[in-house]
Every structure is written in C-alpha cells, then in structure tokens.
Structure 1
Amino acid sequence: MKGGGGGGGLMRTRLRLPVVLLSCSLFFLAGFLGSLLFTQDPQGQEDVERPLRRERLMEAVWPEMAYGESGEPAPSLIPYQILSWQPRALYFPQFATAEQCENVVKTAKAWLRPSTLALRKGESEETTKGIRTSSGTFLSAEEDPTGALAEIETKIAKATMMPRSHGEVLFCK
C-alpha cells in the first residue's frame, strides 16, 4: 500500500517549487502592471497637475518652520541635475519660463547699443569704423518694466544661496 502512494508524493514535491515561483512571478507582474495603470496621468492633465502635486508633496514632507527677517515663509524646490563636478556644471530645467525670457529679450533690445572701442593714440572713430560690429548692453532688474528679470534674479539667488544684492547686472548681447 505504501508503494503505490510514494510516486505521487515525489511528483508533488518536484512540482511545488516551480508552481510557487511561477505564482510569485505572475502576482509580481500583475501588481507592477496594475500600479502603472493607476499612476499614469491622463494626457493634457500632466502639465497642470504636476506643479500642484509637487507643492502638496513639499507641504507634507517639509513643514513650514519659523524663519528670520531675511528668510522665506515656505520651503522652495528648484530641480537641478549635476552635469559635471570638475569643472562644476549644473543644469536647471525650466529655470525661466518662455514668457520671462521673451520679456527680457524685448526689454534688452530697446537698450542695445553698438560696442565701443578703447582708441589707441592716433586712432579715431572713423579709422576704426567697421571693426566692431556687435551690440551689447547691461540690463538691471530696475530697467525691466515687466519684472521678469527680477523674478529670474530672485530664483538665481535661491539656487546659489547668495543675496540678490551680491549679483551683477545682466549683460545682453
């Protein structure tokens, strides 16, 4: 009697490991793929909801703290990527909006003047005419009526942790 049932028990033990591995793999894949379905953003909603989600996440992770006279009332997040440590190079995606950039360019164009030369002894403006063909101007945030440059300077100050007053005016070419 024992001999007849022994073969079935051996077969059951041999199948147990593959069945368990297959079951675990299937449940893992089902869970992984199911989570992808629930976390995908519908098209069009992504750009609108992402900044709001980031703000809510920041509020949950980093609660506001007491701040000093020169501090800020809430944490801020400026995403960046380190491109190189030596020489140090960082990339700040979407640091300024397209509208801010257009406003700065528009304001700078109104102030552009041909570059001047430091004349040597015996030279005149007429003899050096045509040597310099570039135009440039220094543009301060106070000269920008749109306020775009001030916003960009404020963000630069946050990213570098240097006060805005320590920065230089923007050279536009």
Structure 2
Amino acid sequence: MTTTRPRVYLAGPDVFRPDAVQHMKALAHACEALGMRALIPSDDGAAAAGLEGPALARAIYNVNMGLLSEAQGVIANLVPFRGAEPDSGTVFEVGVAIALGLPVVAYGVDQTSYAAGIPAHRDAAKVLRDAAGMAVEDFGLPLNLMLSCAVTFAGSAEEALRALAGVLLAPSNADTG
C-alpha cells in the first residue's frame, strides 16, 4: 500500500504581496511540517516565455486550474481585497474546489456579521440596503451565504492548514493518492 502526502492548493491574493515568494515558501514549509504538499499558484514560466496580455492570462489560468485539479484540499485567503469582498479569483477557485468535492478551509475573514461591514440602512420594510439600494444579506454569517455555507473558517493560514490536515490525514483518508 502506497501513501502520498495530500496536495493542498494555496488560494488567495497572497500571490500579489510584495513578499509573495517568501510568504508562499513559508506556507509550503508549514504544509510539509504537517505531512502535506503545497500546490502554489504560479504562471509556470509563462511570463518568462514572453507571453503577454490575454495569452499570459490564459496560460496562468490553465496552470492554476491544472494545479487545482491535482489538489485534495484547499486553503483560501478570503480577506477583503480591493474592497469589501474577497478576491474574485480566489472565490472562483473556492467554487471550483467545492464543485470538485474538495474540502476548503478559509482564513483572513472577520467572523462578525457580513452585514455589519457594509455601510447600509434599513428601509421602510426593514430590509437592509446599501447605498445603491441593493439588499444586503443579514444572516449573521461572516461572508456571502454561498461562501459561508461552503467552507470551514480558521483564524489564520496556519490554523487553516492544521484544520485541513485533520481532514486529509484522518485514517479514512490516509490511503488515498
């Protein structure tokens, strides 16, 4: 019987950090310490190969979708990014992971109510509305209900990795490749 270390895709806007390489190496090291292997989003040399614009974007998409398809689990940094919502690319990756049946543990999320973080007011019908008049979900969840109901939340990337290790390295999962 051969066992391999579970592969964990590291989703999030962390790839845009000024210290992205060092940060992702630290997360990969934390994966290794827990008996898992990190799958780090990348362009797989597409930029160095001279690709630009839409061709570069497509190459990055293809590489990362390939990595995601090899994963047994995902940790996702759903911190607000460039606004009140998580990075749309990360949200897409979470959706793909959920569709593939992969466990997803998210971090970077304030555990207070999503509605509390949106400037909003109650209308005459007591519906919470934002400045544009759009209804704001008020379920007491930390994010939009589709994300909140699909993922497990952890306080940090390291806690997310430990939680995912608990799922992926459980005895019933230990013999999967």
Query: Where is the helix percentage greater, Structure 1 or Structure 2?
Result: 1
- For the aligned pair, the TM-score class normalised by the smaller chain equals under 0.3
Query: Where is the strand percentage greater, Structure 1 or Structure 2?
Result: 2
Using the size of structure 2 for normalisation, the TM-score is 0.23
